[in-house]
């Protein structure tokens, strides 16, 4: 098993097309306080498909009806680690992030739940961190923290995933940070989230597409 989830950020700019599963450009959503299948149904997964537990590499989109286009569905891979459910997607965004920001009722954060979402935001950069420790959600670009002084913010700072800001830091310090850490910023962010949640996801299983997968309609 690969250690933690830092590898997910390390391959952030690596294409996934050469593997049957996922490798690069992965968006990750973590949720606790909600049962796994319930969370996936809230994202738009089909109950029968969930029951089948089809390996991601074997997922096939349904054919459209005669004279009608095939429905557009995004593929997702999922699993659990301790109390956390994790959902991985490499189509450019995280479904939960698009649904939450679009006010989709089933994806709004609830009391008693916690969600940490790292969305690649390929179509509207930069990549985002969204942290919903209860019914409120807080956003931060990669390179910043949520400003809430939370344990997640502390983990981001400890991992070096927070870019020095002006005027607190000099221009030279900001430039020096990007020269040293700019390329590996996604890895630092995923490292911090891994430290905060203690979640580990097997890189080999994800790359091979061995984990169960579902098809989800865009939010």
Does residue 115 lie in a domain region? yes
**What local confidence, expressed as pLDDT, does residue 1 receive?**
43
Q: Is 216 helix (H, G, I), strand (E, B) or coil?
A: strand
Against a cut of 0.85, is the pTM above it?
A: yes
Rounded Cα gap, residues 44 and 216, in angstroms: 5
Could you say which residues of the chain have pLDDT below 70?
A: 1-3, 62-71, 165-169, 171, 174-175, 177-182
pLDDT score of 119: 97
The verdict on residue 37 lying in a domain is yes
As given in the structure block, the two tokens for residue 88 are 């991985």
Domain membership flag for residue 126: yes
Nearest Cα neighbor of 214 from 25, 68, 33, 46 is 46
Size (the chain), residues: 219
Domain of 202 in residue numbering reads as: 6-216
Residue 1 counted as domain residue: no
Strands annotated E in the chain: 27-32, 74-81, 84-89, 114-119, 128-132, 138-141, 213-216
Question: What is the count of structural domains for the chain?
Answer: 1
Return the percent helix, strand and coil in the chain, to nearest 5.
Answer: 35, 20, 45
């Amino acid at each position: 098993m690969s250690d933690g989830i830092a590898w997910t950020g390390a391959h952030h700019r690596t294409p996934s097309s050469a593997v049957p599963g996922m490798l690069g450009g992965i968006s990750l959503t973590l949720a606790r306080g909600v049962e796994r299948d319930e969370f996936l149904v809230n994202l738009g997964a089909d109950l029968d498909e969930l029951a089948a537990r089809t390996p991601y590499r074997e997922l096939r989109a349904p054919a459209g009806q005669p004279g009608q286009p095939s429905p557009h569905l995004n593929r997702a891979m999922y699993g659990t680690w301790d109390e956390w459910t994790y959902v991985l997607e490499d189509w450019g965004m995280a479904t939960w992030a698009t649904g939450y920001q679009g006010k989709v009722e089933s994806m709004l954060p609830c009391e008693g739940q916690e969600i940490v979402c790292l969305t690649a935001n390929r179509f509207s950069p930069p990549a985002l961190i969204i942290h919903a420790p209860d019914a409120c959600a807080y956003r931060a670009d990669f390179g910043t923290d949520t400003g809430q002084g939370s344990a997640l913010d502390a983990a981001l700072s400890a991992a070096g995933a927070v870019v020095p800001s002006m005027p607190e830091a000099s221009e030279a310090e900001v430039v020096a940070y990007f020269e040293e850490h700019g390329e590996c910023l996604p890895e630092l962010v995923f490292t911090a989230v891994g430290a905060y949640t203690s979640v580990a996801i097997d890189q080999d299983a994800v790359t091979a597409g061995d984990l169960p997968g579902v098809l989800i309609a865009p939010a």
